[in-house]
Each structure stands twice: as C-alpha cells, then as structure tokens.
Amino acid sequence: MKRPLRALAAAGLLAAGAIVAVALGGTASADTQICDQYGSTTIGGKYVVQNNRWGTSAQQCINVTSTGFSITRQDGVGSTSGAPVSYPSIFVGCHYTNCSPGTNLPVQVKNISSAPGSISYNYVSGAIYDAAYDIWLDPSPKKDGVNQMEIMIWLNRQGPIQPIGSPVGNASIAGRTWEVWRGSNGSNNVISYVAPSAVASMSFDAMAFINDTKNRGAITSDWYLTSIQAGFEPWQGGVGLAVNSFSQSVNTGGTTPTTPPPATTPPPGNAACSVKYTTNVWNNGFTADVTITNTGSSTVNGWTLNYNLPSGQTITGSWNATVTQSGSAVTARNLSYNGTLAPGASTSFGYQATLNGAFSTPSSFTLNGATCARA
C-alpha cells in the first residue's frame, strides 16, 4: 500500500534534524540525498525516484544515483503482521499527480503492444522487507489517488511477512513459476506474484503479468495502466538495499492484445459433475474457491456453471473464470485455457464478494444445464 506524495508542508511529520536535499519534483544531476517524507526527483529524463515514507514518522533517507537509488537510513519499525513502513521506489507513469517526464501513461491495456522492463537489485541480510515490482491499473485514466488494481511482483521476501490476501494458485510467467496471492487492503485490490527464491535481476515484458491478471477476471482490456514502479517495502532495517538499475517502456500500436472469445457451450445434457465450494469468511466479506470435476465418461469442451448466491452476497472480483452476477443468479464461464475437462479432470476458479448479513452457501449448481453433486 502506498500513500500520496505531498508538498513540503508535510515536513512536520519528519523526525527532528531531517535533511531535505531536494524539493518535491526536482532533478538529480549527481548523487542526491532525499530525506523528506514524500520527496522525489527525476533521473535519466524519464523516471521519478521517490522516498515515499508513508507508514512511519521515523526517519528514512535514500541516495539517488543516475540509474537508481539506495537506502542510506531507515529508522522505522513496522509490525510483521501489519503494513510496511515505506515504499522507496523508482517509477514511470503517474503516481498521486507526480508524472514522470514524457510519459505516455495512462494508456488503455488494449492499446499496449508490449511493456519491456528490466530491474537489478542489491539485497542485504538482517532486515525484513520485500523487493517489489509494482504495476498499477484503474478503470479510468487516473493520475491522482488510489488505483483500483495493484499487481505486485515479489522478487525477494525476507522475514515473516506475506502478501495481502491468501494464495490462490501458481502461474508460469517470464520463465519462472510464481505463487499467486489475491486480496484487498481495503483501498484497492491486489494480486501478488511471489518468487520462491530471491531474484536479483530480471528482464521481462510486464504485459505478461497484466494479461494473467486480466485472465483472472480482475481487470479488462479497457482498463488503464497508470504507472510501473520498482523498489522495496521495508518493515525493519534495510540500509544498503538498492535498485542498481531500472528500465521500463510501454509500447503502443502494433498488435493489440485481445480477449479470447468465449468457449462454445455445449447444449444441456446428462454429463455427470461435482462441485466443491470452499470459502474464507469474515464479518463483511468472503472469498470462494469453486472446484468443478467431470465425473462423467465424456470430455466437456467448454463449460458454464450456474447457481444462485444467498441474499446479501455480491461478487466484486474473480479469477480463472468469467463470472457475472444478475441479482442472485451467478454465471461462471471458462477462460481459453481451462475449458476442456476430460473424464475425471477438475478445474477451479474463485472470487471475492461482499457480505451483508449471515453467511450461507449456494444450495445447488448446474454445469451446462446438468445438476452437479456436492463434493
């Protein structure tokens, strides 16, 4: 979670004796130290580097170079069961009205042909932090305030910390397998891709992660990419952490990504099926994981699952299926990669929903018109 950049009037939140070497929105020509809570500068005529000490009043300083930055002081201490103390980072695009020089962001996802990027980190021991590559998206071309969708790529995780939400599966992207987490911090939805071990450097197309997020039903091609950032979320310590270099472009034109056409749904039949419905419920919301199993003898080529949600339940986001709700009626359709179910095969999708009143589960499910057994 990140907080807005503010003018120097917010300096009352700084620790005594803070050094402010550059004003908000300045330009770094040589190594520049920033200790202002939300201080920033530009480098390379293309990127913004920000201190972004949003979660603590304790001092933090970064040293900005011509290609990145390093943390030179970090006095904040955050609870490992809560939020980090800051997000010092470098970015392209627009973040809380601060836009990088010459950026073409925000731009609609459907108009992006590629988004090649690269990152090189320096890691340290004895600190609690994550190294994150952040991608922000919103239904509108937003340049200020909180965006509705945050994609976090965790290239390193040190200490007893975890992403927002809970694990929902794995994804193979950019030549690696990532553990995928999904949840909300109360201000925006978050999908996190967590590397199983530290990745010191990586070159990749950010659209691969954006497209996976789109395939999970979290965004559409009409949403806008607003910024891409790389840096660290420290909870405790972190002096010496550095972004050695960062490169990120967003190319428009050329081949426009398209949403795969929906799979053809077979007519209603008697194919046997079972549905397992697993939930995680809290006072005003829940997540549901739905597993469909083909218990019949014929292959299912394209599926549609229909059921009714009890009163007071409203779906707000989904993954691994296209899920729509009209009143209490829910329709879930396969995506391009999970529409075929051989006999005995299973597939899963999930969603997050709000809850008003007592919780209960759907009473019945039909797959392509045939009633399924409850697993």
Indicate which residues carry an active-site annotation: 150, 233
Place of tokens 């749904």: 265
Taking the C-alpha atoms of residue 305 and residue 279, their distance in angstroms, rounded to an integer, is 17
Residue partners of 36: CB distance under 8 A and separation at least 6: 8, 11, 14, 18, 20, 22, 23, 24, 51
Taking the C-alpha atoms of residue 131 and residue 122, their distance in angstroms, rounded to an integer, is 10
Taking the C-alpha atoms of residue 318 and residue 351, their distance in angstroms, rounded to an integer, is 4
Positions of E strands within 125-258: 128-138, 149-158, 166-173, 176-184, 189-194, 201-205, 224-236, 242-248, 251-252
Q: Is 337 exposed, middle or buried (0-12, 13-18, 19+ CB in 10 A)?
A: exposed
Please count the other Cβ atoms lying within 10 Å of the Cβ belonging to residue 255.
7
Residue type, 10: A
